[in-house]
Chain A
Amino acid sequence: MKDLSIVLKEVGRERKDIFMSILFGFLAGITAVGLFASSGYLISKAALVPPLYALTVMIALLKMFGLARAVSRYGERLYSHRATFSILSNLRVNFFEKLEPLAPGIYQKYRSGDLLARIVGDVESLQNFFLRVYYPPIVLVIVFLSTIAFTMFFSVYIALVLVVGLMLTALVVPAYFALSQRKIDSRVREQRGELSTEVTELLYGFRELKLYQRLDEKENLLKASSQKYIQEQEREGVQLIFNQSVNTAVSLMVSWVVLALGAYLVTEGQFDGLFLAMLVMISLTVFENATPMAALPGNLEESRTASNRLYSVVKEAPAGTLEPITSLPESQALSVRLKELTYQFEGEEQQAVSNVSFYLPEGSKTAIVGPSGSGKSTVLMLILKVLQASEGDLQLGGQSIKHVKDEDIWSKSNVVLQDNHFFYGTIRENLELAGTGFTDEEYKNALHQVELPHFDLDSEVLERGENLSGGEKQRLAIARAMLKGQRLWILDEPTSSIDALTEQVLYERLFEQAADDTLVLVSHRLTGLEKMDQIIVMEKGEVVEAGSFNELMAKQGYFYEMKQIEKSVFG
């Protein structure tokens, strides 16, 4: 249960809804028992020809039980689902609280696109924990205990039989199946992963497979893998049905024992036959509550895995800041110095950034260029302290960033990333990230600066900015950075989706605003770099060349060659 301790805590917050779910669940269960008990008693009593009023009372009782049962089932469903969704909300907030201090470094570290989708999926699957694992056993036990207490009035022996039945159906059988469930679950997941790889390879690698005549081979692999996956699913499905059937069989046999024992006691004269039908009906009904217990092991296992996987992501402590903590000076251009900086991503053999040193004086403009995968963006992440170098030192304004809080660096820089996020909301709300307190006039002006004068501040932006083009998103991101107005500019290919003409205009305005600021620009294109103070050329995580445009061109080295190729490239 250690894996689920956080989840349990979050579940516990919804005390009222939990209480109501259990209360109504109990009422629904006990009224059903009452309904069938009274109908059994009614018939028996009727057989003995009682006075009519007794019958009327019984029938009224019957109706009441029927209505109460339907209403309490409704209440149970309502409250349990409400609780489930509230818990989901708690889990999201709780997880976010844990993830937030680790971001964005953790995103860089995992470098896997599906991390977030997996997180969302895992949180979502935890909602079953309350609905299918947490409260049904509680309701079950209370209903059983009440029923057993009631039965005690009539026959201790039969009550004992029910106790044994409860132990079997709610504890022994599910516990036994829980053991076998673990293995099956992991096998299904494994096979699914395997099949998913095969399908992806076949579809994405189709052209290669076809041309190299490996398609038939791959098709057979895929079929075999699908067959295996389906077999595991089938095994899982059959196992679940088997669990349910065994549980049903056990509960039916308990009712059988109740009948046999009751009948024996009646013939021995130790028990009034009038109540025999009632007790048999009770036993048949009360075990209906035990049916969900068969599916419990599967759900428990699923929740356990999800919670485990989820919280393993956020296990590590956030990157600390060394004492004494210094803060960067306000509104002042900063110098940037990298001293033999090295960074290696987890699980990768090669260093992403290896022994990199350079110095950017305050107010200077620098471009970092190089082929994709050469470590340009990683350098930016290191400057922003999103990633922390394993070796070497990095200084901002002469202070080692080991003593500077990451939030401090971020609040004093204007950052445009390759992939800038836009949220569901309006253009204004998305610009407001740069800071509140701007007038509409200022927002409008910022939009003008990035050549988006036609944008309305109140137009809707969809999730992830889906309704904006790549170029529009980049321009809005630049507008956001310009509004922020800090003195350190970190730009990672900010104009890759913007046409050359607009790009030129944007850069002019940007450099105008940043005239006295320190600016670092990662660029794919080699055009327009003539006015940079320094160009740093990277390859395979190392700096291969550095200098001004003219110096590098005169040198006829790596940069010169790249420039030659770019010149000859056709669109």
Chain B
Amino acid sequence: MNVLNPYLKQYKGTQIFLVATAILTGLSIIAQAYLIVLAVDRVFLQGHPFESIVPILGWLALALLLRAALTFASGRAGVRMASKVKQDFRRRLLDKFSKNPVQASLQGQSGQKVSVMMDAVDEIDSYFSRYIPQVIQTSIIPLMILIIAFSQHLYTGLLMIITAPFIPLFFIIIGIKTQKKSEEQLDKMAAFSGRFLDTLQGLTTLKLFGRAAKQKDAIRESSYGFRDATMDVLKVAFISSLMLEYISMLSIGLIALELGLRLVVFESVTFFTAFFLLVLAPEFYLAIKELGSAFHTGRGSMGAAKKIIDELEKDDQPVAWGERQLDVSNPPVIHLKEAGFKYGDKGFELTGVSAEIKPYMKVAVVGRSGSGKSTLLHLLAGLVAPSNGSIEVEHNPLSNYSEEAWFNEVSYISQKPYVFSGTIAQNIAIGGGKQAAREDIIAAAQKAGISQMVSSLSQGYDTPVGEGGRGLSGGEKQRLAIARAFLKNPSIILFDEPTTGLDLKTEQILQASIKELSKKSTVITVAHRLHTIQDADLILFLDDGELKGAGTHEELMDKESDYRSMVSLQQGGNSA
């Protein structure tokens, strides 16, 4: 239970409050027992008139209400503490993700990150809202009862002290056993529990092969298998509860027996003391037992906490920025000087890329998949910082410029542009300044050849798209990204050319648009089209994380045998 403790320190105030409520709860429990016993004693044994216990009843009502109020106060404090911790964890994760673009841009891991930010953070809740308040209560209330017991009757106190440790002891022993047992059953349970989803997902296949009807029995069978495996684990847990219950029952019984004997045989305690202690004894064991169930929920939070902390402790690869402004009358000249990048310690490495990219150049980056093309594009975009070598813009390191100055000049048209949840207009406007005029958005959409599609929709530019909105096809997304670029009007365009699957119209628009955009900017393309490569002023040929050659198509065909074979393989493959 250690990983979360450092975070607990920030909530000293809440903890002090919880300690105070625990002490008050203890007092109200004792007062409740005392007052009940006092009232019964007076009317039953001492034959007092009813009026004499009226004030006692008044105090008792107060103590009872106080107890309920304290339960509420302590619970609420726990819930509030959990809220703060959750918000804090989300903020830290967010910071981590946004300061560490490499991680965040590796899209394959995004799903897992979403789950850490949503589910893992939520699972932390019970540790702070339930476990911590219970730990504080358990460490205070039984102690207070114990003190009272000792002050009233030595032997009851001794019995409590001797029997109490058996509860945590048994709990630990059985906890270890259950864990072993549940680990053994875990695979089985996972297999059985996945079967239902498996069948639902495969229902199309099953129906097409006429095998669906049979599956009913398979579902029942696997559900029963899951039930039996789970029951095996639960049985051990229930036996542990049984033992705990039995221990506390036995202990209460012992105390009652001892008190009864003293009361009758030895007449060494009064009815008052005996009854008082007998009312208190169950409260003593209850507080210890409740820690057990809170412990279970607390342990559930641990796994989630570990996930979050692992994520927070991952190495950063931050990008540094300066203050320098960028003159934008012309696209800047870019020098790559032995630039390279490495993902983490063991990840893929791109090394030693040197090139000069002059204004208005058309640059093509080519190479097999996994050769480092996307990494190079990310480096040029300023999304990641070179881990060796440098990138110079107008003869100054890129890191000297302000983030805003640089990003104002860059557009990135990826193969799968992300569509945000919002309207089509909002999605195009993300390319422009904070407040893009509607005319500008429409003009950009026209240039990107998407306006016809948009006007065919009943809500036009206000059609919701993205999550929960209308789905866009691959071609439409590409054209949306182009419209963003037209609206932004940058001096450097990074373009990840699509590999397949586009309609002719989009193909034509892409060609025309890139041509149009290249009039005003430098275009760097991860190229998948032969004519893009043939058109390029400079080709950067990458292989296995290294720059194998640079030059025009003719030059490379001439001097690079690997390049030559790649091109001829491509054409050979197609004519087959």
Cβ–Cβ contact A210 & B71, under 8 A: no
From the candidates B64, B72, B94, B260, name the one contacting A223 in the complex (CB within 8 A): B94
Contacts of B530 in A (CB 8 A): 567-570
Cβ–Cβ contact B227 & A82, under 8 A: yes
At the interface, is chain B mostly helix, strand, loop or mixed?
Answer: helix
**Contact A259 to B574, CB < 8 A, known contacts A63-B253, A242-B72, A411-B210:** no
Q: How many residues of A contact B (CB 8 A)?
A: 145
Stretch among A38-46, A167-175, A359-367 lining the B interface: A38-46
A424 at the interface (CB under 8 A from B): yes
**Contact A277 to B407, CB < 8 A, known contacts A70-B246, A196-B118, A567-B574:** no
Report the separation of the CA atoms of residues A147 and B470 in the bound assembly, to the nearest whole angstrom: 61
Contacts of B174 in A (CB 8 A): none
Contacts of B560 in A (CB 8 A): none
Contacts of B90 in A (CB 8 A): 222-223, 226
Contacts of B191 in A (CB 8 A): 424, 463
Contacts of A500 in B (CB 8 A): 573, 576
Cβ–Cβ contact A263 & B474, under 8 A: no
Q: How many residues of B contact A (CB 8 A)?
A: 154
**Shortest beta-carbon distance, A331 to chain B, in Å?**
16
Contacts of A456 in B (CB 8 A): none
B40 at the interface (CB under 8 A from A): yes
**Contact A52 to B420, CB < 8 A, known contacts A66-B249, A417-B205:** no
B385 at the interface (CB under 8 A from A): no
Report the separation of the CA atoms of residues A62 and B412 in the bound assembly, to the nearest whole angstrom: 79
Cβ–Cβ contact B252 & A66, under 8 A: yes
Report the separation of the CA atoms of residues A266 and B49 in the bound assembly, to the nearest whole angstrom: 9
Cβ–Cβ contact B238 & A107, under 8 A: no
Contacts of B263 in A (CB 8 A): 43, 46-47
Cβ–Cβ contact A107 & B417, under 8 A: no
**Contact A230 to B86, CB < 8 A, known contacts A63-B253, A569-B500:** yes
Cβ–Cβ contact B50 & A233, under 8 A: no
Cβ–Cβ contact A74 & B239, under 8 A: yes
B362 at the interface (CB under 8 A from A): no
Stretch among B6-14, B216-224, B442-450 lining the A interface: B216-224
Bits for A338-376, please: 1 = Cβ < 8 Å to B, else 0.
Answer: 000000000011100000000000000000001111100
Cβ–Cβ contact B68 & A55, under 8 A: no
User: Closest chain A residue to B529 by CB distance?
Assistant: A568
Contacts of A276 in B (CB 8 A): 40, 43-44
Contacts of A43 in B (CB 8 A): 256, 259-260, 263, 271, 274-275, 278
**Contact A372 to B231, CB < 8 A, known contacts A120-B197, A280-B36, A421-B201:** no
Q: Which of B212-248 contact A (CB under 8 A)?
A: 212-213, 215-216, 219-220, 223-224, 226-227, 230-231, 234-235, 238-239, 241-242, 245-246
Contacts of B456 in A (CB 8 A): 350
Cβ–Cβ contact A256 & B60, under 8 A: yes
Cβ–Cβ contact A234 & B79, under 8 A: yes
Report the separation of the CA atoms of residues A484 and B495 in the bound assembly, to the nearest whole angstrom: 46
**Shortest beta-carbon distance, A431 to chain B, in Å?**
11
Contacts of A264 in B (CB 8 A): 50
**Shortest beta-carbon distance, A320 to chain B, in Å?**
16
A69 at the interface (CB under 8 A from B): yes
Contacts of A411 in B (CB 8 A): 210
Bits for B538-561, please: 1 = Cβ < 8 Å to A, else 0.
Answer: 000000000000000000000000
Cβ–Cβ contact A207 & B201, under 8 A: no
Cβ–Cβ contact A42 & B256, under 8 A: yes
B395 at the interface (CB under 8 A from A): no
Report the separation of the CA atoms of residues A249 and B32 in the bound assembly, to the nearest whole angstrom: 13
Cβ–Cβ contact A50 & B264, under 8 A: yes
At the interface, is chain A mostly helix, strand, loop or mixed?
Answer: helix
**Contact A99 to B203, CB < 8 A, known contacts A69-B245, A433-B209:** yes
Stretch among B102-110, B152-160, B340-348 lining the A interface: B102-110
Q: Which of A372-414 contact B (CB under 8 A)?
A: 372-374, 384, 386, 407, 410-411, 413
Q: Which of A65-124 contact B (CB under 8 A)?
A: 66-67, 69-71, 73-74, 77-78, 81-82, 85-86, 88-89, 92-93, 96-97, 99-100, 103-104, 107, 116-117, 119-120, 123
**Contact A103 to B204, CB < 8 A, known contacts A207-B412, A256-B57, A500-B576:** yes
Cβ–Cβ contact B504 & A277, under 8 A: no
Bits for B159-174, please: 1 = Cβ < 8 Å to A, else 0.
Answer: 0000000000000000
Cβ–Cβ contact A203 & B113, under 8 A: yes
Contacts of B65 in A (CB 8 A): 249, 252-253
Cβ–Cβ contact A464 & B198, under 8 A: yes
Contacts of B418 in A (CB 8 A): 201, 204-205, 207-208
Report the separation of the CA atoms of residues A546 and B403 in the bound assembly, to the nearest whole angstrom: 53
From the candidates B209, B431, B571, name the one contacting A434 in the complex (CB within 8 A): B209
Cβ–Cβ contact B245 & A73, under 8 A: yes
B195 at the interface (CB under 8 A from A): yes
User: Closest chain B residue to A525 by CB distance?
Assistant: B500
Q: Which of A478-516 contact B (CB under 8 A)?
A: 480, 484, 500, 504
B87 at the interface (CB under 8 A from A): yes
Q: How many A-B residue pairs have CB under 8 A?
A: 421
Cβ–Cβ contact A372 & B501, under 8 A: yes
**Shortest beta-carbon distance, B283 to chain A, in Å?**
10
Contacts of A196 in B (CB 8 A): 114, 118
Cβ–Cβ contact A77 & B241, under 8 A: yes
Stretch among A213-221, A297-305, A437-445, A547-555 lining the B interface: A213-221
Cβ–Cβ contact B105 & A206, under 8 A: yes
Cβ–Cβ contact B98 & A215, under 8 A: yes
B202 at the interface (CB under 8 A from A): yes
Bits for A530-571, please: 1 = Cβ < 8 Å to B, else 0.
Answer: 000000000110000000000000000010011001111111
**Contact A259 to B39, CB < 8 A, known contacts A374-B503, A561-B504:** yes
B475 at the interface (CB under 8 A from A): yes
Contacts of A565 in B (CB 8 A): 504, 507, 529
Cβ–Cβ contact B223 & A104, under 8 A: no
A6 at the interface (CB under 8 A from B): no
**Shortest beta-carbon distance, A160 to chain B, in Å?**
19
Contacts of B64 in A (CB 8 A): 249, 252-253, 255-256
**Contact A569 to B499, CB < 8 A, known contacts A69-B249, A86-B227, A97-B216:** yes
B424 at the interface (CB under 8 A from A): no
From the candidates B40, B68, B87, B381, name the one contacting A245 in the complex (CB within 8 A): B68
Contacts of A312 in B (CB 8 A): none
Report the separation of the CA atoms of residues A219 and B411 in the bound assembly, to the nearest whole angstrom: 21
A295 at the interface (CB under 8 A from B): no
A322 at the interface (CB under 8 A from B): no
B305 at the interface (CB under 8 A from A): no
A459 at the interface (CB under 8 A from B): no
Cβ–Cβ contact B576 & A52, under 8 A: no
**Shortest beta-carbon distance, B373 to chain A, in Å?**
11
Report the separation of the CA atoms of residues A35 and B431 in the bound assembly, to the nearest whole angstrom: 74
Cβ–Cβ contact A85 & B226, under 8 A: yes
B250 at the interface (CB under 8 A from A): yes
A227 at the interface (CB under 8 A from B): yes
Report the separation of the CA atoms of residues A35 and B430 in the bound assembly, to the nearest whole angstrom: 71
Contacts of B573 in A (CB 8 A): 500
B75 at the interface (CB under 8 A from A): yes
Contacts of B113 in A (CB 8 A): 203
Q: Give the most central of A117, A415, A567: most B CB within 10 Å.
A: A567
**Contact A210 to B68, CB < 8 A, known contacts A245-B75, A417-B205:** no
Cβ–Cβ contact B242 & A424, under 8 A: no
Report the separation of the CA atoms of residues A361 and B543 in the bound assembly, to the nearest whole angstrom: 49
Cβ–Cβ contact A410 & B271, under 8 A: no
Cβ–Cβ contact B369 & A571, under 8 A: yes
Bits for B243-287, please: 1 = Cβ < 8 Å to A, else 0.
Answer: 001100110110011011001110100010011001100100000
Cβ–Cβ contact A96 & B219, under 8 A: yes
Identify 22 residue pairs between A and B in the complex whose beta-carbon atoms are under 8 Å apart, listed by A's number. A39-B256, A47-B263, A59-B253, A59-B260, A85-B223, A93-B220, A100-B212, A107-B203, A195-B118, A202-B98, A207-B383, A208-B418, A208-B430, A237-B129, A244-B72, A245-B75, A268-B50, A372-B473, A424-B191, A561-B507, A567-B571, A569-B529
